Chains A and B, each alone.
Chain A
Amino acid sequence: MEKLLNELSSECQPAYGVECDVAKNAQVPENLKRSTPLGLPNIAENDLLRHFTNLSRKNYALSTVFYPLGSCTMKYNPLINERIARNDAFNNVHPYQPIETMQSVLEVMYELEKDLCEVAGMDNFSLQQAAGAHGEFAGLLVISKYFKSIKQKRRKIIVPDSAHGTNPASAHGTNPASAAFAGFEIVPLKSELDGSISLDKLKEVLTPEIATMMLTVPNTLGVFEKSITEISKLVHDNGSLLYYDGANLNAVMGIVRPGDMGFDVMHINLHKTFSTPHGGGGPGSGPIGVKSFLEPFLPVPRVEKKKDKYMLNYKKSKNIGKVKAFFGNFPVILKASAYVKALGGKGLKNVSEQAVLNANYMLAKFKDKVNVPAGNRCMHEFVLSPKTLFKNDVRTIDIAKRLLDYGYYAPTIYFPLIVDEAIMIEPTETESKETLDKFVNVVNKIILEESYQEPQKLKDAPINTPVRRLNEVDAARKPILKWD
């Protein structure tokens, strides 16, 4: 067990210090002065280094294990991107520097925006948003503002399988949350067994109040929406817009573009498709792309190029405002740009082809043994439903925990909610055949052998991790959220 920082604290010389080379002059009036102790620990640098290094070793990370997390696109994070982003020439730029001294920053942003437009078939991108959900929120505000500008009152949006009442969900949880956040009322639409949309059901909910329909293509079951052309027509004939959740863009780069499918607004997670690291939960980046008629509504400032000079344009009369201070998560943008420049158009297409090949290969190895509700083909990810195989009270959570013992991070489980006991696997393109083979064998072994022969082993799992299963009920009932 690794001690907590407060338990490491002693009377020692702490790690950092500062010297003041001007006369000390820091008296402040009593009414403004802090009177309670700071309560910070006192720890020597050597001990701090050990503490945090030891903590890092308790993580399963992409750099140590295979991370087949469905819907999260945990692909290799190229080291060269990190090297580029750690350059002080970028890191020391202040956001309010004169424009002529920060051309490099604007150039990187401008270039990425252009490249994302090409990948997505959109006309403009805003890079200001700090994560996918943030992008969703901004994208929906753009839609809201657009309808206000043409004086239409549309306050509802369709989110397929948005977990309304007792309907289980296939859409990402951020979809309904972002929609509510942006002031929209949600209209649920129940999808078919493979997660696809029924045109008849869609017609029933397409009322004049619908502003947009949010779709993930391919959907969270890894299936491409075959009726996308018809859906697009129905939605647009209704005067509504079509919104693309880019969480699964890794399946279709260079193959089919959201803009060409008829989507008007979309967001991308750079920390999924464009290889920027997840950082244990951020920072991410959630660019939003729009067709040109929505460009005036994007957050400000916009990066523009006049002759050879890059500029920041704050003067967009219809803009939704700012969704964050300054310009966006620049280091993330920079890493994504490095990724795109490394791959180019051909490389990006190859990425999607390999991602889909890897997923289908794994699916092929599973399909005769474990139920795959969405069928024998998938895009970049697929969902297993081993429910019928379970005996001895074994559940998907036990499979996931047992996988940790074998040195794998667990796949996404119990999502999408429309599949019982779901196990959602996304291998990504950066894993070798050998890695996939080994993983499939382990999963099959756990489900088909261990769960019958040694069910207790699954219930007891994990045993090889720094801690064993944790009591989440106590954690929530009597929350301890900081040290004493």
Chain B
Amino acid sequence: MDYTPQNQKDKKQMLESIGVGNIDELFKIIPNHLKAKDLNISGGKTEQELLNYFLNICSKNKKLISFRGAGIYDHFIPSLVGEIVGRSEFWTAYTPYQAEASQGTLQAVFEYQSLICALTGMDTSNASLYDGATAAAEAALLALRVNSKNRILISSGVHPEYIQTVKTYLENSKAKIEIIPLSDNGRLDKNTVDPLIDDNTAAVVIQSPNYFGVVEDMDALSSAIKSKNSLFVAIVNPLSLGVFKAPGEYNADIAVGEGQVLGSSMSAGGATFGFMAVKKSLEWKIPGRIVGQTTDKDGKRGFVLTLQSREQHIRREKATSNICTNASLNALSACVFLSGWGNVGFSNLAETNISKARYAFTKIKSLDGFKAKFENETFFNEFVIETSKNIKKINKILLKNNILGPLNLSNAGDDFKNCLLFCVTEQRTEAEIDRLVELLAKI
């Protein structure tokens, strides 16, 4: 199959119209010594063969009951999300440059932006970025552009892959990145953070709930950051905002995060999307596309890409970012996801995550050989357990029972030797949690 519709007769006629005898003549300009040999790629598969080929590959994948999070989460995706993003009018459309022919995508993005603002309590959202890690990096770059300072402080409670991504993005800039240590209770202590912020600090980047599941006291941390005129970048789990304080409430300047939890599947960690929402004053500094409302010639409401002079296709080397294609379809998933809960339902979803995680937490920490790492802290749907048992053995046994066990944190630093990061979402049933606890008790 190669999806080309021209038959021999068409081809012949086309060549005649062009005035050449064969297709090779069209490539005459390419020097002969550069011409490629036959590509060594097997193919020519029919649709059926293709399907079977890939079904065969993924048949090795076992369906696992997941107690693992750390950035990508197993949440329920309502049927409506699949139906809408599966509509070819959305997934085969281009970036909505021709506004009159793209009102579907444009209005949906406008609605997405509105929903992200509602959720985060921020003023302005863009149309999406690649993922949570790149959103964090773009936030740091935004801060550096705004206040011409060059220190970026990042909490060590930020997802390690996000920190690595920020470092990569800032590699060739003048910025200096410094990591703020967590205190023994698994979160940032205001008294540790305060003295680290100086007049040259462009931004302080804090994640809540942090990588270890602990919810930070963002309100308390915010005041110190503000007093030094640094920007406060909050990395948040959008689902957690059904219960926990929103970035707008604690005066964050930039809110970013991973949007996978809003209706995208795990898919080995991508494709997902990153969201970014900012205060009004940063509107013209935000990277990526933005959709705005306006009117057409007849006064009818319509939507367009706007504030475009920030972007690469106009500003080129002075653009706020080089981003072009982003993650529009995943943002659409989020839009469909967020529009179907209502306030009460969405809070209930967040609360269900908390209730189930606490149920598991209480049971696991009381087992022999297991204890809570941060006993009195508040968490959303992830928590750390310290164990005297052999971690590899634990996960091996769980896997045998089709359970994807907690993440081994031994790579996360000396403080986390023998530590496990559990995740319990609304997807896990009481029976599944009980089964996990039962298996752990036997180890």
Contact = CB atoms under 8 A, between A and B. Distances in A.
A134 B267 contact: no
A40 B246 contact: no
A26 B42 CA distance: 55
A115 B41 CA distance: 6
Contacts, number: 677
B271 A345 contact: no
A61 B88 contact: yes
27 contacts: A25-B354, A28-B243, A33-B243, A63-B88, A84-B51, A94-B72, A101-B404, A118-B41, A130-B270, A133-B323, A169-B316, A177-B317, A256-B36, A257-B36, A322-B165, A325-B159, A327-B268, A341-B45, A342-B2, A342-B45, A354-B4, A356-B23, A409-B98, A470-B303, A472-B304, A475-B292, A481-B293
Interface string B252-272: 000000100000011111110
Interface residues of B, number: 199
A282 B264 CA distance: 13
Interface string A388-408: 000000000000110010000
Central interface residue in B88, B119, B283, B336, by most chain A CB within 10 Å: B88
Contacts of A476: 292, 306-309
B316 A162 contact: yes
Contacts of A386: none
B35 A49 contact: no
- List the 9 shortest-distance A-B pairs measured between CB atoms, nearest first: A344-B43, A183-B172, A326-B269, A345-B39, A95-B269, A15-B340, A281-B328, A39-B118, A283-B271
A144 B172 contact: yes
B345 A181 contact: no
B61 interface: yes
B30 to A, nearest CB: 5
B101 A177 contact: no
Given A45-B80, A283-B270, A350-B2, A322 B18 contact: no
Given A94-B66, A401-B100, A481-B113, A330 B269 contact: yes
A78 B110 CA distance: 29
Interface in B317-372: 317-319, 321-330, 332, 336, 338-343, 345-352, 354-356, 358-359
A61 B92 contact: yes
Given A94-B72, A331-B267, 10 more contacts: A40-B342, A59-B89, A61-B91, A130-B131, A163-B316, A278-B94, A299-B168, A338-B54, A471-B295, A481-B306
A430 B89 contact: no
A357 B26 contact: yes
A346 B44 contact: yes
B162 to A, nearest CB: 7
Contacts of A443: none
B281 interface: no
A76 B220 CA distance: 53
B287 to A, nearest CB: 10
B95 A80 contact: no
B2 A102 contact: no
B345 to A, nearest CB: 5
B132 A325 contact: yes
Interface stretch (A200-208, A447-455, A461-469): A461-469
Interface in A16-48: 16-26, 28-29, 31-43, 45, 48
A287 B107 CA distance: 31
